[in-house]
Amino acid sequence: MTLVSPSLLSADFGQLDRDIDMLNRSQADMLHIDVMDGVFVPNISFGFPVMKFIERAASKPLDVHLMIVDPGRYVNQVRDCGAAIMNIHAEACTHLHRVVQQIKQAGMKAAVTLNPSTPVMMLQDIIEDLDMVLLMSVNPGFAAQKFITHTLAKVKSLREMIDSRGLTGQTTIEIDGGINLQTGALAVEAGADILVAGNYVFADQDPEAAIARLKAL
Ligand code: DX5
Ligand code: ZN
């Protein structure tokens, strides 16, 4: 079964209540929350006060994607904002192993995110500690970018790494960026478990139906 995590980056922040209500009613499995600091990525999105509001309004788990430098500084604050999953970028974190343990000790699921240019091999000595790997299929920072096809090869090699270690079902693969019905189908075929989608969902006149289409992949 494909899981879907719609990205609120493409929601209407003037009507966030309405958009979160829609996600609560929809088949979305979780809500993807993109936090950007203007340093790790060339954009700034939103921070903890907005996350707290999202937590109050949402009835589904929060999948928090931190595009910030040194994310280990914020483990407890992210937990206090209700995150179920804390995604940190391998490229932004010097002591990845330590921070992964801190995330789990704080009671959240730990996920490591890789930029398009970071090889999957980087995870071979930490994969067993991870609940999820998030592969970026665009360079992080903006919604509505074009899917980078090479990510499919990365999904396949990560699938092999996970399955060969006996971690199937324990360590999941999420993919983020440029996901639509076509790229989503290719990603699922390559071995992705969870599809993040922003523009594809929120640009549709019927976002609930768009989510249902991704769920059916
Ligand atoms: C990009 C973010 C993504 C983005 C996805 O930096 O991490 O989650 O919102 O948006 P789409 O699906 O529009 O590419
Ligand atoms: Zn994201």
pLDDT of residue 5: 99
Q: How far is CA 103 from CA 61, 77, 78, 130, 167, in A?
A: 16, 11, 9, 10, 19
| Residues labelled as active-site residues | 34, 176
Which of 142, 151, 181, 204 maximizes ligand 1 atoms within 8 Å of its Cβ, making it the mutation to test the pocket? 142
Continuous segment of H or E residues that includes residue 122: none
Distance 65 CA to ligand 1 centre (A): 10
pLDDT digits (tens, 9 = 90+) for 177-188: 999 999 999 999
| Count of all residues that appear for the chain in the document | 217
pTM above 0.95, yes or no: yes
Spacing, Cα 124 to ligand 2 middle (Å): 22
Cα dihedral 124, 129, 134, 140, rounded to 10, equals -80
Ligand 1 atom having least distance to the Cα of 147: 14
Q: How high is the pLDDT of residue 96?
A: 98
Pick the closest to residue 176 from 192, 195, 162, 191 (CA basis).
195
Atom of ligand 1 nearest to the CA of 144: 13
Q: Are 4 and 27 in contact (CB under 8 A)?
A: yes
Paired strand residues for 33: 64
Per-residue pLDDT of 29-87, as tens digits, reads 999 999 999 999 999 999 999 999 999 999 999 999 999 999 999 999 999 999 999 99
